[in-house]
């Protein structure tokens, strides 16, 4: 008998090969270090596939039972770290199948009838990602709840609303917090729309379908899909669901990073609007007084790689011919990273919001800077004196100029001074210049009036927290 020159174990596809891959090729080729995460989803899909094969008389029921038992043992072994992963076995799918054959012998070789790793990997990734996204939706809900709780607690507290980071108009803190409830609400709607991807690729085999009389509807139903993907080429080539998930994460992070930025600003002594819990801050190794908002900074920083992950998979997919190409293995690390990072950052943000202490006195104090009531004054000229808004704007601008020179807020200007700008100005104007009236009068739908905000809290609770 001819002596084997290559001692390495042969791959599952070794039939047409004389040599095994080089060590360097094995390193490049292997995805096991990251796709091992998929083992439960892969085994679940494999058991379903084998059961269907038995139901269709493609394998015997007894064989299915053997396969099922074997796969459950493989699952246990992986869970208990009993299986040593090897680069030469490439990915989690091959590891599971190889181990199954080791355990139950050649019946295990029947599992791969009427399927390919191409439909297998798409199916397992979908099942796995579906669960992860559901968790993320739950965390978004909790974050909305935390924000709503703070909004309720601070229902009447005021703060300066800024545009261009400059004083603009007074608003309710609760109104500001509700803006984020809405933003994370859109993320949750984005999550719901992922449902359109919940169709099964399994049974598309390599690209063309299969000669076997399989029942795709059955595996789809049992695996929690709404139906089957209608084109076998599309089914094995599609990674739109991954791009949509990465986009979902990117939008979540765009929102999280904006909230983080505000937390960072609000916690700096210049603002001093909030006190962060020690649990979400760190100190400096040299400056003893420091308390840094690291959690918020990290979340803001991580948004870079989350958006990067989206761009990365987009670039992998664009221009790929149908059907499967190995490029597509590059979908996993970005997907795994984005989902994990999103989960941990949402958990931290929830903790940070729950433990934040707002300092309403300081927010109110800052409302006295920067003529936040100037627009109210202009509106008063329009309503009371019938001045066209453009002229009212100019008139108020001139008054602000004077107030700045006198170093006084608008409400402290004397009626005599005001009358210099318009003879009909009466003392009634002072009634609309205080912060409370300014806010109370913003009665337009979606505005910051307490009436609106209270109603929006109730609506938001009904819509998002049921
Ligand atoms: N590890 C591969 C991936 O993640 C599985 C599919 C391999 N298919 C193939 N024809 N080589 O994409």
Buried b (16+ CB within 10 A) or exposed e, 295-304: bbbbbbebbe
410 and 384 assigned to the same domain: yes
329 lines ligand 1 (CB under 6 A): yes
117 lines ligand 1 (CB under 6 A): yes
254 and 183 assigned to the same domain: yes
Q: What is the pLDDT of residues 393-412, one digit of tens each?
A: 999 999 999 999 999 999 99
Kindly tell me the sign of the dihedral angle through the C-alpha atoms of 66, 72, 74, 76: negative
Q: Can you name the residues that pair with 172 across neighbouring β-strands? A: 158
Question: What is the structure's pLDDT at 152?
Answer: 98
Q: How many domains does the chain have?
A: 3
pLDDT over 60 (residue 1): no
Q: Is residue 421 part of a domain?
A: yes
Structure tokens belonging to residue 229:
């993907």
Q: Is residue 121 part of a domain?
A: no
Structure tokens belonging to residue 305:
């790689």
pLDDT over 80 (residue 324): yes
Cα(30) to ligand 1 centroid in Å equals: 10
Q: Is residue 279 part of a domain?
A: yes
pLDDT over 70 (residue 7): no
Instruction: Find out whether 71 and 100 touch, Cβ atoms under 8 Å.
Output: yes
237 lines ligand 1 (CB under 6 A): no
Confidence of residue 287 (pLDDT cuts 50, 70, 90): confident
Average pLDDT, the chain: 95
229 lines ligand 1 (CB under 6 A): no
Give the domain extent around 408.
374-433
Answer with the one of 365, 390, 416 that is the final residue of a domain: 365
pLDDT over 90 (residue 190): yes
pLDDT over 60 (residue 227): yes
Ligand 1 atom closest to 92 (CA): 1
438 lines ligand 1 (CB under 6 A): no
pLDDT over 90 (residue 4): no
Structure tokens belonging to residue 300:
């803001």
Name the packing angle between helices 117-153 and 39-55 (round to 10°): 130
Q: Phi first, then psi: what are they for 190, rounded to 5°? A: -60, -40
pLDDT over 60 (residue 173): yes
Question: What is the structure's pLDDT at 5?
Answer: 44
Ligand 1 pocket test: pick from 13, 329, 336 the residue with the most ligand atoms within 8 Å of its Cβ: 329
Cα(439) to ligand 1 centroid in Å equals: 59
Question: What is the structure's pLDDT at 10?
Answer: 63
Cα(76) to ligand 1 centroid in Å equals: 24
290 and 411 assigned to the same domain: no
Q: What is the pLDDT of residues 332-390, one digit of tens each?
A: 999 999 999 999 999 999 999 999 999 999 999 999 999 999 999 999 999 999 999 99
356 and 383 assigned to the same domain: no
C-alpha span between 417 and 402 (Å, rounded) = 9
Confidence of residue 195 (pLDDT cuts 50, 70, 90): very high
CATH number for the domain that contains residue 175:
1.20.200.10
Biggest CA pair distance of the chain? 115
Give kind and range of the element (H or E) at residue 172. Answer: strand 166-172
198 and 307 assigned to the same domain: yes
Cα(333) to ligand 1 centroid in Å equals: 14
Answer with the one of 66, 84, 113 that is the final residue of a domain: 113
Answer with the one of 365, 387, 403 that is the final residue of a domain: 365
77 and 166 assigned to the same domain: no
Question: What is the structure's pLDDT at 288?
Answer: 81
- To the nearest whole percent, how much of the chain has pLDDT over 70? 97
269 and 288 assigned to the same domain: yes
245 and 330 assigned to the same domain: yes
31 lines ligand 1 (CB under 6 A): yes
pLDDT over 70 (residue 45): yes
CATH number for the domain that contains residue 411:
1.10.40.30
Confidence of residue 225 (pLDDT cuts 50, 70, 90): very high
17 and 60 assigned to the same domain: yes
Give catalytic residue positions: 164, 284
Ligand 1 pocket test: pick from 324, 326, 328 the residue with the most ligand atoms within 8 Å of its Cβ: 326
373 lines ligand 1 (CB under 6 A): no
176 and 314 assigned to the same domain: yes
Q: Is residue 50 part of a domain?
A: yes
Kindly tell me the sign of the dihedral angle through the C-alpha atoms of 43, 46, 52, 57: negative
C-alpha span between 210 and 232 (Å, rounded) = 10
Q: Among 157-171, 217-231, 277-291, 306-320, which stretch is predicted with the lowest mean pLDDT? A: 277-291
Q: Is residue 226 part of a domain?
A: no
Q: Is residue 158 part of a domain?
A: yes
pLDDT (mean) for 161-190: 97
178 and 101 assigned to the same domain: no
pLDDT (mean) for 301-306: 98
Instruction: Give the CA dihedral 316, 319, 321, 327, nearest 10 degrees.
Output: -20
Ligand 1 atom closest to 90 (CA): 1
Confidence of residue 95 (pLDDT cuts 50, 70, 90): very high
Q: What is the pLDDT of residues 46-73, one digit of tens each?
A: 999 999 999 999 999 999 999 999 999 9
C-alpha span between 154 and 173 (Å, rounded) = 7
180 and 291 assigned to the same domain: yes
Q: Is residue 102 part of a domain?
A: yes
CATH number for the domain that contains residue 53:
1.10.275.10
pLDDT over 60 (residue 254): yes
Cα(190) to ligand 1 centroid in Å equals: 28
pLDDT over 50 (residue 2): no
91 lines ligand 1 (CB under 6 A): yes
**Ordered alpha helix ranges (H), 11-60:** 23-29, 32-35, 39-55
Which pTM does this prediction carry? 0.94
Cα(336) to ligand 1 centroid in Å equals: 16
Tell me which DSSP letter residue 216 carries.
H
Q: Is residue 442 part of a domain?
A: no
């Amino acid at each position: 008998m001819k002596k084997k020159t290559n001692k390495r174990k042969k791959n599952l596809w070794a039939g047409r090969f004389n040599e095994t891959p080089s060590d360097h090729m094995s390193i490049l080729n292997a995805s096991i270090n990251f796709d091992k995460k998929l083992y439960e989803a892969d085994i679940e899909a494999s058991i379903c596939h084998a059961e269907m094969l038995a139901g269709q008389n493609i394998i015997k029921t007894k064989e299915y039972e053997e396969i099922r038992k074997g796969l459950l043992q493989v699952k246990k072994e992986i869970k208990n770290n009993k299986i040593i992963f090897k680069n030469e076995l490439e990915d989690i799918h091959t590891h599971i199948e190889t181990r199954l054959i080791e355990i139950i012998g050649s019946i295990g070789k029947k599992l791969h009838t009427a399927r390919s790793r191409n439909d297998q990997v798409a199916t397992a990734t979908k099942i796995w990602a579906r669960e992860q996204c559901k968790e993320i939706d739950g965390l978004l809900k909790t974050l909305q709840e935390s924000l709503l709780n703070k909004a309720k607690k601070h229902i009447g507290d005021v703060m300066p609303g800024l545009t261009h980071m400059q004083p603009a108009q007074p608003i309710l803190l609760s109104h500001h917090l509700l803006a984020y409830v809405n933003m994370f609400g859109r993320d949750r709607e984005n999550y719901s729309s992922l449902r359109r991807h919940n169709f099964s690729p399994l049974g598309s085999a390599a690209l063309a379908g299969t000669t076997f009389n399989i029942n795709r509807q059955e595996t789809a139903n049992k695996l929690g899909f709404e139906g089957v993907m209608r084109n076998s080429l599309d089914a094995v080539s599609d990674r739109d669901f991954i791009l949509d998930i990465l986009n979902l994460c990117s939008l979540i992070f765009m929102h999280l990073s904006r909230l983080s930025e505000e937390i960072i600003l609000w916690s700096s002594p210049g603002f001093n609007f909030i006190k962060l819990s020690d649990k979400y801050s760190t100190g400096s190794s040299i400056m003893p007084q420091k308390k840094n908002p690291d959690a918020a900074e990290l979340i803001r920083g991580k948004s870079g790689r989350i958006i990067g992950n989206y761009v990365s998979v987009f670039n992998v997919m664009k221009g790929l011919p149908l059907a499967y190409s190995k490029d597509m293995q590059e979908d996993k690390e970005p997907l795994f990273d984005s989902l994990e990072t999103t989960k941990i950052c949402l958990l931290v943000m929830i903790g940070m919001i729950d433990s934040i202490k707002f300092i309403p006195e300081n927010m109110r104090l800052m409302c006295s800077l920067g003529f936040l009531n100037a627009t109210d004054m202009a509106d008063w000229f329009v309503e009371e004196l019938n001045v066209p808004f453009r002229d009212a704007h100019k008139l108020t601008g001139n008054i602000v100029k004077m107030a700045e020179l006198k170093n006084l807020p608008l409400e402290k200007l004397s009626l005599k001074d005001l009358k210099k700008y318009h003879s009909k100005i009466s003392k009634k104007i002072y009634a609309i210049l205080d912060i409370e009236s300014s806010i109370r009068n913003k009665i337009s739908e979606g505005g910051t009036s307490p009436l609106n905000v209270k109603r929006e809290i109730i609506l938001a609770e009904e819509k998002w927290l049921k």
